[in-house]
Amino acid sequence: MKARVHVMLKNGVLDPQGEAVRHALGTLGFDGVNGVRQGKVIELDLADGTPEATINEMCEKLLANTVIESYSVEVL
């Protein structure tokens, strides 16, 4: 079984990497990009039947810093 975890900075948290990408896109001539938020995707290869609660626990303890990041889990 596979699961995909999407981790993004929460709204209101400054995203310097996203701002650097936005600036670089403007420099390359891509006008109209008003904002960029950068996150990460983590794919997990898990034993069949792993409960979603276990995946959420992994996120809470290691995969996401829940003080400044939010996450969503997609079981594939």
Q: Confidence band (pLDDT; 50, 70, 90) for 71? A: very high
Residue-range definition of the domain harbouring residue 35: 2-75
Average pLDDT over the chain, rounded to an integer: 95
> What is the DSSP-derived secondary structure letter of residue 10?
P
**Structural domain tally of the chain?**
1
CB 18 within 8 A of CB 37: yes
Entry pTM:
0.84
Can you give the pLDDT at residue 55? 96
- Distance (Å, whole) CA 3 – CA 75: 4
Q: How do residues 23-55 score in pLDDT, each as one tens digit? A: 999 999 999 999 999 999 999 999 999 999 999
CB 5 within 8 A of CB 63: yes
Find the CATH number of the domain harbouring 35.
Answer: 3.30.1280.10
Over range 8-30, report the average pLDDT. Answer: 95
Can you give the pLDDT at residue 2? 96
